[in-house]
Amino acid sequence: MDRHSTLILSILLNALTTTFFSPVYAGTFDREFDITWGGGRGKVLNNGELLTLSLDRASGSGFQSKKESLFGKIDMQIKLVPGNSAGTVTTYYLKSKGDTWDEIDFEFLGNLTGDPYVMHTNVYTQGKGDREQQFHLWFDPTADFHTYSVLWNHHHIVFLVDGIPIRQFKNLEHRRIPYPKMQPMRLYSSLWNADQWATRGGLVKTDWSKAPFTASYRNFRADACVSYTGKPSCPAGSPRWLSHRFDLTAENNMRVVQRKFMVYNYCTDSKRFPQGFPKECGIH
């Protein structure tokens, strides 16, 4: 076992000892989601246990959840497009409605065979994003399914991969930094062509001879405050994710992962922010 594998195994074992999230709804894809575009390129299979999205030269495809949530712990297992996926983007995100929307993003930017995917993350508040952090993964995300999760409560938003926190966006409203807390969000996912920018800034184009490109989804789980007519209904009792905060060990483990696998951080991009970094970048 190499050093990276040993490191991640250690962090994962620690994460598992403190994991306490149980799903409130984990229905089949045909019951929990609508395929919203793609002209038949999105398919629900295996009695609703598997969903696939496909992309060809004519169109990509996408789906969205039937329910909206205001805070929750959302898990989805995804197997990304294998082989030469350059130019393709697989998205998985929470988003509210309107012109001043909130959004919590995972995007997976394809690459040439043998080169790593770039996992792109972002947080939008009141229609403003520009908070990108990007990572390489410590495994091949096309060889098997892996779990990508969002924990969202009043205190922070946490991005997790296989139960390992990789990013945190804190609620810093006391420092006049907007935080998503008022707008229910729906879960979306899509597979589409973005070869004008997705791979090496658009230098590598989609190889349509490899189409159709396919991403697969299974084991959706959500422990969330589901929004009905704008009013959230939270799980019975007091779910522990609702009050979850990082302790020092969890913060340190996340920083170890970031030092090893983060490849872009908006908070260190001085060329992009010559007048000074966003306010949250200087707060720890």
**How far is residue 253's CA from residue 15's CA, in Å, rounded to a whole number?**
9
pLDDT value of residue 17: 41
Determine the length of the chain: 284
Q: For 66-106, how does the pLDDT look when each residue is reduced to its tens digit (9 = 90+)?
A: 999 999 999 999 999 999 999 999 999 999 999 999 999 99
Q: Helices (H) and strands (E) in the chain — how many of each?
A: 3, 15
Residue 18 reports pLDDT greater than 70: no
Non-local CB neighbours of 193 within 8 Å, separated by 6+ positions: 55, 60, 87, 88, 89, 206
- The count of domains in the chain is 1
Residue 115 reports pLDDT greater than 80: yes
- Average pLDDT score over residue span 204-216: 96
16 vs 111, 210, 250, CA distance in Å? 31, 38, 12
High-pLDDT (> 70) share of the chain, %: 88
**How far is residue 95's CA from residue 184's CA, in Å, rounded to a whole number?**
8
pLDDT value of residue 221: 95
Q: Which of 267, 114, 255, 105 is nearest to 187 (CA)?
A: 105
Q: Of 103, 173, 251, 280, which residue is the catalytic one?
A: 103
* 23 assigned to some structural domain: no
Q: Which of 52, 127, 123, 58 is nearest to 90 (CA)?
A: 52
pLDDT value of residue 23: 41
Q: Of 68, 107, 173, 280, which residue is the catalytic one?
A: 107
* 4 assigned to some structural domain: no
Q: For 148-172, how does the pLDDT look when each residue is reduced to its tens digit (9 = 90+)?
A: 999 999 999 999 999 999 999 999 9
Q: State yes or no: is 132 an active-site residue.
A: no
Write out the residue range of the structural domain in which residue 230 sits: 28-268
Q: Looking at per-residue confidence, does 111 or 11 come out higher?
A: 111
* 170 assigned to some structural domain: yes
Question: Which residues face 275 on adjacent strands?
Answer: none
pLDDT classification of 57: cutoffs 50, 70, 90: very high
* 20 assigned to some structural domain: no
- Average pLDDT score over residue span 205-234: 89
Place of tokens 């209904």: 233
* 153 assigned to some structural domain: yes
Q: For 98-114, how does the pLDDT look when each residue is reduced to its tens digit (9 = 90+)?
A: 999 999 999 999 999 88
Q: For 121-141, how does the pLDDT look when each residue is reduced to its tens digit (9 = 90+)?
A: 999 999 999 999 999 999 999
- Average pLDDT score over residue span 178-184: 96
pLDDT value of residue 19: 42
Residue 213 reports pLDDT greater than 80: yes
**How far is residue 181's CA from residue 160's CA, in Å, rounded to a whole number?**
20
pLDDT classification of 12: cutoffs 50, 70, 90: low
Q: Looking at per-residue confidence, does 201 or 118 come out higher?
A: 118
Instruction: For residue 84, give the CATH number of its domain.
Output: 2.60.120.200
Q: State yes or no: is 107 an active-site residue.
A: yes
Residue 120 reports pLDDT greater than 70: yes
Do 56 and 78 form a contact (C-beta atoms < 8 A)?
A: no
What is the pLDDT of the chain when averaged over all its residues?
91
pLDDT classification of 10: cutoffs 50, 70, 90: low
* 19 assigned to some structural domain: no
**How far is residue 65's CA from residue 62's CA, in Å, rounded to a whole number?**
11
| Phi, psi for 89 (deg, rounded to 5) | -130, 130
